[in-house]
Copies of this chain bind each other. A is one copy, B any other.
Amino acid sequence: MTDTIGAFVPGQQFRLEGKPGGPLSGLTFAAKDLFDVAGRPTGGGNPDWARAHPVPTRHAWAVQTLLDTGAALIGKTITDEVSLGILGENPFDGTPVNPRAPGRVPGGSSAGSAAAVAAGLCDTALGTDTGGSVRVPASFCGIYGIRPTHGRLDLSGMMSQAPSSDTTGWFARDADTFARVSAVMLGEAIPNTLPKRLVVASDAFALADPETAAALEPMVARLRALVGKGREEAMAPPGLAAWARAQRTLQPYEAWLTFQEWIDRTNPRFQFSVARNLALAPTIPASERAWASLVRQEAGGRMRQLLPPGTILCLPTTPFPAPLCSQPISVLEPLRDRITALCSHGGLTGVPQISIPGATVEGVPVGLSIIGARGSDATLVAVARAMAGG
User: Which of A263, A280, A283 lies at the interface centre, i.e. has the most chain B CB atoms within 10 A of its CB?
Assistant: A263
Nearest CB to that of A81 among chain B residues? B269
Which residues of chain B are within 8 angstroms of A328 by Cβ–Cβ distance? 264-265, 267
- The answer, among B91, B275, B330, for a CB contact under 8 Å with A279, is B275
CB contact under 8 A between A276 and B273, given known A264-B329, A264-B330:
no
Which residues of chain B are within 8 angstroms of A89 by Cβ–Cβ distance? 267
| Closest CB in chain B relative to A155 CB, distance in Å | 26
A268 at the interface (CB under 8 A from B): yes
Q: What is the total number of residues of chain A having a CB less than 8 Å from a CB of chain B?
A: 23
User: Which of A265, A267, A328, A330 lies at the interface centre, i.e. has the most chain B CB atoms within 10 A of its CB?
Assistant: A267
| Closest CB in chain B relative to A237 CB, distance in Å | 32
Asked if residues A271 and B276 are in contact (CB atoms below 8 Å), the reply is no
Which residues of chain B are within 8 angstroms of A329 by Cβ–Cβ distance? 263-265, 267
CB contact under 8 A between A270 and B267, given known A279-B279, A279-B280, A280-B279:
no
| Closest CB in chain B relative to A45 CB, distance in Å | 12
- The answer, among B265, B267, B272, for a CB contact under 8 Å with A278, is B272
Q: A127 CA to B330 CA in the complex, in Å?
A: 33
Q: A280 CA to B268 CA in the complex, in Å?
A: 17
Asked if residues B92 and A269 are in contact (CB atoms below 8 Å), the reply is yes
- The answer, among B269, B272, B280, for a CB contact under 8 Å with A267, is B272
A176 at the interface (CB under 8 A from B): no
A48 at the interface (CB under 8 A from B): yes
Asked if residues A267 and B273 are in contact (CB atoms below 8 Å), the reply is yes
**Interface positions of A from 255 to 287, Cβ below 8 Å from B:** 263-265, 267-273, 275-276, 278-280, 283
| Closest CB in chain B relative to A109 CB, distance in Å | 15
Asked if residues A271 and B267 are in contact (CB atoms below 8 Å), the reply is yes
Q: A277 CA to B81 CA in the complex, in Å?
A: 20
**Interface positions of A from 15 to 38, Cβ below 8 Å from B:** none
Asked if residues B263 and A272 are in contact (CB atoms below 8 Å), the reply is yes
Which residues of chain B are within 8 angstroms of A269 by Cβ–Cβ distance? 91-92, 269-272
User: Which of A263, A272, A276, A330 lies at the interface centre, i.e. has the most chain B CB atoms within 10 A of its CB?
Assistant: A272
Which residues of chain B are within 8 angstroms of A267 by Cβ–Cβ distance? 89, 91, 271-273, 328-329
Nearest CB to that of A89 among chain B residues? B267
| Closest CB in chain B relative to A95 CB, distance in Å | 11
Q: A14 CA to B89 CA in the complex, in Å?
A: 35
Which residues of chain B are within 8 angstroms of A48 by Cβ–Cβ distance? 91
Q: A270 CA to B275 CA in the complex, in Å?
A: 8
- The answer, among B263, B265, B272, for a CB contact under 8 Å with A270, is B272
7 A–B contact pairs at CB < 8 A? Answer: A48-B91, A263-B272, A272-B275, A272-B278, A276-B278, A279-B279, A279-B280
Binding site for B on A (CB under 8 A): 48, 89, 91-92, 263-265, 267-273, 275-276, 278-280, 283, 328-330
